[in-house]
Amino acid sequence: MFDNLSDKLDKALHVLKGHGSITEVNVAETLKEVRRALLDADVNFKTAKEFTNTVKEKALGQNVLTTLQPGQLMVKLVKDELTELMGGETAGINLSGTPTVILMSGLQGSGKTTFSGKLANYLKTKKSKKPLLVACDIYRPAAINQLHVVGDQIGVEVYSEPENKNPVQIAQNAIEHAKQNGYNVVIVDTAGRLAIDEAMMTEIANVHQAINPHETLFVVDAMTGQDAVNTAKSFNERLNFEGVVLTKLDGDTRGGAAISIKSVVDKPIKFIGTGEKMDAIDVFHPARMADRILG
């Protein structure tokens, strides 16, 4: 994961680690290298700039130059700040509802349907919940079938109304069905489009308003870098979502989305997707991710 970024950061910090005495000049140079590595990894420009400025301020504030092991302290400052940038603490999901309603949002291809299945599987096997999956894509019958295939795979019921073209109604009926049949989590998979358009946004905003979910999760493909951050912004403006799901972190992603998204939309990454299989889901831990990035 993020091999390129890890390599570059390692090289940038290596200079400091190796130096006997550290001057303000090589702290500045190192941070310039760190910034360059972040930008190369597709981290948002403003985020990268603020990041290095903060680390610099902290380094000066802690008199990094006069400590016994300045290189190590710098590495720690970078790691701590990276953790902070990605949200600091792990953000849980709210499962307090009866049933808890979770709305999935995101573009087509982001991994929404796959993740809906993974989340249902996770809640069933790890949290002893009884989830219901809901197919709310009224445009692509294939999407409804796909969710049924996923549901069969993990042994979770899928609610769909293939003849109904009203997603608000489908979602409401599904919640009623859940109440009648003892399901305690309802995961609503919505239609995605290849790009953001007004009709799509209005549709999901209507569903959101009608069902008032406990959690709205925005699913985004980590491989899309800066676009991921821009898409997150648009969805957040309309849905004010609770958290982000970053998928395809097993692929050749540069890491920019993981690092920038929290600082741009001020919403935490809650889960990551690390493969196509139903168990390829992880709760997001900012500190662990920072460790992986810094090697």
Binding residues: 106-113, 189-193, 247-250
Please state, in angstroms and rounded to a whole number, the distance separating the CA atoms of residues 267 and 86. 10
- Per-residue binding string, ligand GDP, 236-265, x by CB under 6 A, is -----------xx-xx--------------
Instruction: Give the CB-nearest residue to ligand GDP.
Output: 273
- Between helix 24-40 and helix 70-85 the angle, nearest 10°, is 30
Check if the beta carbon of residue 223 is closer than 8 Å to that of residue 1: no
Distance, C-alpha 126 to centroid of its chain: 20
The one-character DSSP state at 64 is: G
Q: Is 151 in the site for ligand GDP (CB under 6 A)?
A: no
CB of 38 to ligand GDP, least distance (A): 23
Residue 68 vs 194, nearer CB to ligand GDP: 194
* 110 forms part of the interface with ligand GDP (CB under 6 A): yes
Examine residue 105 and tell whether it contacts ligand GDP (CB under 6 A).
Answer: no
CB nearer ligand GDP, residue 95 or residue 223:
223
Does residue 111 belong to the site contacting ligand GDP (CB under 6 A)? yes
| Residue 74 to residues 13, 45, 54, 110, Cα–Cα distance (Å) | 8, 22, 12, 36
Q: By CB under 6 A, name the one of 8, 35, 112, 254 that touches ligand GDP.
A: 112
Cβ(185)–Cβ(102) below 8 Å:
yes
279 binds ligand GDP (CB under 6 A): no
Q: What is the DSSP letter of 66?
A: G
Q: Is 192 in the site for ligand GDP (CB under 6 A)?
A: yes
Give the nearest distance from C-beta 4 to ligand GDP in angstroms. 18
Q: Based on CB atoms, which residue is closest to ligand GDP, 59 or 136?
A: 136
For residues 113 and 143, is the Cβ–Cβ distance under 8 A? yes
Q: Which residue do the tokens 């006997």 mark?
A: 20
Cβ(192)–Cβ(220) below 8 Å: no
131: β partners? 185
Q: To the nearest whole angstrom, how small is the minimum distance from the Cβ of residue 131 to ligand GDP?
A: 17
Tokens read off for 240: 């004010």
109 sits near ligand GDP (criterion: CB under 6 A)? yes
Q: Which residues sit at the interface with ligand GDP, rule CB under 6 A?
A: 106, 108-114, 192, 247-248, 250-251, 273-276, 280
